[in-house]
Structure 1
């Protein structure tokens, strides 16, 4: 039996809903963790289950415990935090503050903001390279991706963090979130107001466009084999599949209404997206699911390289306004440590 949990960031409810998964098609909502006002972005976890999420209307990030399923503390950052990343080594977190146009560096040992780095207008979501050398941050208001040199953090040199490149997307495209493909060679950018996905070559910063035909890009994940990018497009309630090598769209997958966040469970090749859907209707080709849900798609049930066959789905109810979804495998934490943390809460 598996011991996996999905964490849905439910903006309108001010909670993080926790869905337990014990096997294929076996899901149940086990907890709603109260955090700050208007949480945004996926909960980002350290290896030992410290989770962090932005509270956009409260200028804080909440730390939650993946074992005890409770809020541990709140850390003050800049105005309207939206995006967050944990730097390899897990001593620091980066937080993009969309209201103060800055990037906070947070010490996760002291649980305090150390400094803020100036950014462009309205920075949003980010990803950090596996080697901890760079962070890529979507600058929504100015239409570019900021490349931040964070390599000095491995030596504690906070003052060395600096922007080294502004990679153009389009000022009218509004880049919202991004992800780095498993090979580390390309950055895929979801744009809310462009009909294309932007792809950045990591080695050269060269920019490519992949036509999706619709605005409303929100999030990017990758298939287990790394061959396909999966991009949620909110306005048409679909996930678009892009061949990572050829940069061609190979098919679309209808899901629940208004999909935003997306995550892949690589152990059983399923994908989960959060259906926000304040104003968007479902794709008539897709499942008859409502908003405020997660859609699970079993990627084993139809091919990704062509528009053929139908996928198997499951609907999972969460809180209001789910904007993001992430996962954490509790089996990566020892049984002894899990019990210790549960005993601490009960005491």
Structure 2
């Protein structure tokens, strides 16, 4: 073996050793999960990563009452950091490199740009009134913010750290949550009971889908063919064909349907119900609810771990995050975070595999 190849081998080995579960390959993850290798998991559990390390697997949870973000280490299930931000943070997202995070601060009408290594805000970007849902373009250059108190989507140039224009959804529109796939932006309007499909290249509304009452955190399937819409006023999960806006299914779930995650195989959805204090599992093959877990005060937002073996739910009524075993469909832990937790988002290095 020549010197160049040896160097590559050593570098690759060091990458695996230093990265823990964040950079496991799919094969390594399978081996560990089936008992053939547990070194990475044991190492991560024995040596919890520091809050700012890129190799850690964490959830960031904004606290509306404390104007801060709790950093949760997934392996230990403990809060390992705290990031002060502006007033009433609602949601948080990450760049694809995980080096930056962005938080929407409702009462200060700003977007915080956060360095995830130092756990400090490096810039506050003024946007429209009460920013809520935010989403980032795949190249990390453009952030789109829905502002609850007006009719615009605000565009932020993340490299320059400033507003770069708006998209007008029309008089009377009330933007709430957003999802992005390709050049299509999906925006829920909780007051007018509709979802706008916006072309981000032309900055125009291409289609409007009438939904049930009070649509909240919309999600779009990976192939772009289906739109999942929790409707709080109808305690339902609605599924639409994005091409023609036709309703494909409407499933009864917990009251106040708020957020939804869909499994990679497309067979299961999990819907939070904020007013119902519950989470509902939905069988997407039969379009029926299979189980509802109650006793979850203010169940608001939800996110999977990488293997989708657990779902993490913010409980705005109890200052906790509930940890749900998705196979057993039961709560297995509760983690105390900042007061009135809102959104939740996974921070993990990009790449294949990932078992945490």
Q: Same fold (TM over 0.5)?
A: yes
Q: 1:12 aligns with which of 50, 65, 68?
A: 65
Deviation at 1:230, TM superposition (A): 0.9
Determine helix, strand or coil for the equivalent of 1:177: coil
Residue equivalent to 2:36: none
Q: Deviations over 1:70-108 (max 9, x none)?
A: 212111111111110111222111111111221011111
Contact 1:224/1:269 (<8 A) preserved: no
Q: TM-score, normalised by structure 2?
A: 0.78
Distance change in 2, residues 1:83/1:8 (3 Å): same
Instruction: Tell me how large the CA RMSD over aligned residues is.
Output: 1.8
| Alpha-carbon distance between aligned partners in 1 of 2:150 and 2:113, rounded to the nearest angstrom | 21
Residue equivalent to 2:321: 294
| Alpha-carbon distance between aligned partners in 1 of 2:276 and 2:128, rounded to the nearest angstrom | 33
| Alpha-carbon distance between aligned partners in 2 of 1:166 and 1:331, rounded to the nearest angstrom | 34
| Alpha-carbon distance between aligned partners in 2 of 1:36 and 1:61, rounded to the nearest angstrom | 8
Q: TM-score, normalised by structure 1?
A: 0.80
Task: Please say which structure displays the higher CA radius of gyration.
Answer: 2
| Alpha-carbon distance between aligned partners in 2 of 1:229 and 1:331, rounded to the nearest angstrom | 24
Residue equivalent to 1:104: 154
Deviation at 1:224, TM superposition (A): 4.3
Q: 1:185 aligns with which of 211, 214, 225?
A: 225
| Alpha-carbon distance between aligned partners in 2 of 1:133 and 1:95, rounded to the nearest angstrom | 15
Determine helix, strand or coil for the equivalent of 1:165: strand
Distance change in 2, residues 1:167/1:312 (3 Å): closer
Mind listing any 5+ residue stretches in structure 2 that lack a counterpart?
Answer: 1-19, 22-55, 352-356
Mind listing any 5+ residue stretches in structure 1 that lack a counterpart?
Answer: 153-159, 278-290, 303-310, 333-347
Residue equivalent to 2:51: none
Q: Deviations over 1:259-318 (max 9, x none)?
A: 1010001326110000012xxxxxxxxxxxxx000000111335xxxxxxxx35111000
Q: Deviations over 1:13-38 (max 9, x none)?
A: 1111111122xxx2111112111111
Greater strand content: 1
| Alpha-carbon distance between aligned partners in 1 of 2:254 and 2:267, rounded to the nearest angstrom | 23
Q: How many residues are aligned here?
A: 295
Contact 2:254/2:278 (<8 A) preserved: no
Contact 1:78/1:97 (<8 A) preserved: yes
Residue equivalent to 1:166: 208
Residue equivalent to 1:121: 173
Deviation at 1:206, TM superposition (A): 0.9
Determine helix, strand or coil for the equivalent of 1:33: strand
- Work out whether 1:33 is the aligned partner of 2:86: no
Q: Deviations over 1:204-245 (max 9, x none)?
A: 221245232543011111224331111101222221122234
Deviation at 1:331, TM superposition (A): 7.2
